[in-house]
């Protein structure tokens, strides 16, 4: 009889011990489970934050010869967007421009490199003569649209029989000499491009008058004020044509819609 009581007490005691152990482990397991759940939730939240983060402003990344647009300048960004929009396929015959680039760049690029001129200047002939070929009303002609006097100054023959402004290699060498000389004066590639368009004397006067040497912040005539924006836009449509209305079909760039030209 006593033996039965001892067995019964032992069983009860054992159950009580197990109940305490179980009761102790449950909160620990719950905490561990909760901690894991919290970490998972945190990870999901972090991932969502990364995915939904605002994209970097594409306009702010645009540049000419590594000289970028001023950050936070709404006026400059609006002007850049407007110029880019004017350079899409529906407004320009950019199939022709791409063919010109494929033909001209292999000749222009090594000459630029030899003179230490940034590669972005290869887009200048496309803006100067690619958009609208032939002689300008003022007498500028050729790939780099040299005036006769300037062409002769930098070693080109221009007379009634020969016009080396129309020789891509020779005129590019002349342009590099001129551009390098301009950089020695202005120490800024965007100002060099603007001076190429409007003339170095006029550019110097504007810098002194405005006490400003940042091209994007200067007040210039309409053509010169938009010139670097055009160069950047030309660079973008040549480098990333699909963004501006192209799709590649059978090795040839084809437009989605629209024809015609648009040049100031």
Strand partners for 64 = 67
Give 104-133 pLDDT, tens digit per residue: 999 999 999 999 999 999 999 999 998 767
Q: Which residues pair with 200 in a beta bridge?
A: none
At residue 120, φ and ψ (nearest 5 deg) are -65, -20
Residues 193 and 216 sit within 8 Å (Cβ to Cβ): no
Determine the distance from the C-alpha atom of residue 77 to the mean position of all C-alpha atoms in its chain, rounded to a whole number: 13
Distance CA 84, CA 54 (A): 22
Average of per-residue pLDDT values in the chain: 80
- What does residue 92 show for φ and ψ, rounded to 5 degrees? -130, 150
Q: What's the Cα-to-Cα distance from 33 to each of 45, 105, 217, rounded to whole Å?
A: 18, 64, 60
CB burial of 172-199 (b: ≥16 within 10 Å; e: otherwise) equals bbbbbebbeebbeebebbbbbbbbbbbe
In this prediction the pTM is 0.72
Structure tokens at 132: 């609208």
CATH architecture assignment, domain 63-255: Orthogonal Bundle (1.10)
Q: Residues 62, 68, 70, 76: is their CA dihedral positive or negative?
A: negative
- Return the pLDDT at 15: 55
Q: How far apart are CA 239 and CA 63, in angstroms?
A: 13
Question: CA distances (Å), 103 to each of 107, 188, 262, in order?
Answer: 8, 29, 23
- Quick one: pLDDT at residue 31? 45
Contacts of residue 143, defined as CB under 8 A and 6 or more positions apart, other chains included, come to: 104, 125, 128, 129, 165, 166, 168, 171, 172
Q: Is-contact 235 65, C-beta < 8 A?
A: no
pLDDT tens for each residue of 195-250: 999 999 999 999 999 999 999 999 999 999 999 999 999 999 999 988 877 655 44
Return the pLDDT at 12. Answer: 56
Smallest CA-to-CA distance from 216 within 75, 93, 103 is with 75
Distance from chain centroid for Cα 232: 8
How big is the CA angle at 171 (ends 167 and 176), to the nearest 5 degrees? Answer: 155
pLDDT in tens, 60-103: 889 999 999 998 899 999 999 999 999 888 777 688 899 999 99
Angle at 66 between CA 184 and CA 93, to 5 degrees: 105
């Amino acid at each position: 009889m006593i033996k039965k009581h001892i067995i019964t007490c032992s069983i009860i005691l054992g159950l009580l011990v197990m109940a305490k152990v179980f009761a102790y482990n449950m909160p620990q397991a719950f905490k561990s489970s909760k901690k894991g759940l919290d970490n998972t939730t945190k990870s999901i939240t972090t991932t969502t934050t990364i995915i939904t983060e605002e994209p970097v402003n594409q306009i702010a990344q645009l540049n000419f010869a590594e000289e970028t647009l001023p950050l936070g300048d709404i006026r400059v960004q609006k002007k850049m967007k407007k110029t880019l929009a004017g350079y899409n396929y529906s407004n320009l015959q950019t199939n022709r421009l791409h063919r010109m680039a494929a033909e001209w760049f292999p000749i222009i690029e090594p000459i630029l490199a030899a003179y230490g001129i940034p590669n972005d200047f290869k887009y200048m002939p496309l803006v100067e003569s690619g958009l609208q070929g032939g002689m300008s009303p003022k007498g500028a002609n050729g790939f780099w649209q040299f005036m006769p006097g300037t062409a002769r100054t930098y070693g080109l023959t221009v007379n009634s029989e020969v016009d080396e402004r129309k020789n891509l290699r020779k005129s590019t060498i002349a342009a590099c000499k001129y551009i390098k000389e301009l950089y020695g004066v202005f120490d800024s590639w965007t100002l060099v491009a603007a001076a190429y368009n409007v003339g170095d004397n006029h550019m110097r006067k504007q810098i002194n008058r405005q006490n400003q040497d940042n091209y994007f912040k200067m007040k210039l005539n309409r053509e010169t004020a938009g010139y670097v924006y055009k160069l950047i836009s030309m660079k973008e449509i040549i480098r990333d044509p699909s963004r501006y209305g192209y799709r590649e079909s059978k090795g040839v760039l084809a437009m989605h819609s629209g024809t015609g030209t648009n040049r100031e």
